[in-house]
Amino acid sequence: MTLRHLTEDDFTRLRDLRADRPEAVREALAGRRRREVLRGDGRLFIVAADHPARGALAVGADASAMADRYDLLDRLAIALERPGVDGVLGTPDIIDDLAALGLLDDKIVVGSMNRGGLRGATFEMDDRFTGYDVPRMVASGVDFAKTLMRVNLDDPATAPTLEATARAVSEAADARLPIMLEPFLSRWVDGRVVNDLSPDAVILSIAIAAGLGASSAYTWMKLPVVADMERVMAATTLPTLLLGGDSGVDPDETFASWEDALCLPGVRGLTVGRTLLYPPDGDVAAAVDIAAGLVHPGVGALRRSETR
């Protein structure tokens, strides 16, 4: 393990804080300096790190890339210090670590709610809410909620997941807490859950997700970049963040697809994790800077002028 930003002393303090003063972890999250969700250009760049709690540790061909928590936290620390990064998406364990390390001041914190559908499990479609809930997010100062919503028309576990998601949307609206839904049409293929990334499937998933809950006033979408994105984005008036998917695709191709999709009406930014935290060349800062420049062109222009 090679640390590039955080030190062994940082991790010693984190471990000691968790063992000796657990109340300080909650205090660090609740007491951090907060910001408005939207400001300036009205766009958001969120770094995602909620994969491990679902048992999804792989990045590309490396099956255990995200297994080293210290390495993951170091990569997140690098990302969060880069200009143009607005916040982070994570489960409570990740968010608590980052708060205790003092890395969340002036950052948007997005709480991941449902992690019960473990990767590769026979019950993967039974995606129970085992992470944050709305009352505790509000109490602890989390700024945004996020749920994954996979719809499998051949699996009865989809029904309770939809019901739980609808309840979360209603609770979030009552609390005036923005909530991001990540919908997919999914199916079982050789014992694995596979998401359908065809434009028609994404459009249908949007229609199903948008109608959940007693109010859509605080609902956002988190959508994959697929073919015919102009038609996909015509399916909703809800503010949308684009998700980045897994690493392994040619980075230049990936950035180009994001750049095109970010120009579409309704697209407000990116929520990307493994693609940027584990880039092929290992340079987290450079990958994050490119993405930040796509979301916030002013940041990219400023950085280019500084390097001349």
Q: CA 45 → CA 113, 170, 305, distances in Å? A: 20, 25, 21
Q: How confident is the model at residue 245 (pLDDT cuts 50, 70, 90)?
A: low
d(CA 229, CA 222) in angstroms, rounded, equals 13
Query: What is the rounded average pLDDT of the residues 193-207?
Result: 97
* Interatomic CA distance for residues 113 and 93, integer angstroms: 12
pLDDT level of residue 30 (50, 70, 90 thresholds): very high
pLDDT of residue 134: 97
User: What confidence tier does 3 reach under pLDDT thresholds 50, 70, 90?
Assistant: very low
Residue-wise over 35-44: b if at least 16 C-beta within 10 A, else e? Answer: eebeeeeebb
The mean predicted confidence, pLDDT, of the chain is 92
Reported confidence tier of residue 60, pLDDT bands at 50, 70, 90: confident
Percent of the residues in the chain that have a pLDDT greater than 90, as a whole number: 85
pLDDT (mean) for 37-44: 94
Neighbouring CB atoms inside 10 A of 110's CB total: 30
Q: What is the pLDDT of residue 246?
A: 63
pLDDT of 164 reads 95
| Residue 282 CB neighbours (<10 A) | 11
Can you give the pLDDT at residue 233? 98
- Categorize the per-residue pLDDT at 308 as very low, low, confident or very high, splitting at 50, 70 and 90: very low
pLDDT at residue 27 tops 50: yes
The whole-number pLDDT of residue 1 equals: 43
Higher pLDDT, 175 or 306: 175
Three-state SS annotation for the chain: CCCCCCCHHHHHHHHHHHHHCHHHHHHHHHCCCCCCCCCCCCCEEEEECCCHHHCCCCECCECCCCCCHHHHHHHHHHHHCCCCCCEEEECHHHHHHHHHCCCCCCCEEEEECCCCCCCCCCCCCCCCCCCCCHHHHHHHCCCEEEEEEEECCCCCCHHHHHHHHHHHHHHHHHHCCCEEEEEEEEEEECCEEEEECCHHHHHHHHHHHHCCCCCCCCEEEEEECCCCHHHHHCCCCCCEEEECCCCCCCHHHHHHHHHHHCCCCCEEEEEECHHHHCCCCCCHHHHHHHHHHHHCHHHHHHHHHHCC
Out of 71-75, 134-138, 279-283, 298-302, which region has the weakest mean confidence (pLDDT)?
298-302
Architecture of the domain delimited by 8-306: Alpha-Beta Barrel (3.20)
pLDDT at 61: 85
Read off the pLDDT of residues 131-181 as tens digits, 9 standing for 90 and up.
999 999 999 999 999 999 999 999 999 999 999 999 999 999 999 999 999
In contact, 82 and 289? CB cutoff 8 Å = yes
- The predicted-structure confidence for 71-110, as pLDDT tens digits, reads as follows 999 999 999 999 999 999 999 999 999 999 999 999 999 9
Residue 249 pLDDT grade (very low, low, confident, very high; cuts 50, 70, 90): low
Q: 53: which 2 tokens?
A: 């709690």
How sure is the predictor about 5, in pLDDT bands with cuts at 50, 70 and 90? confident
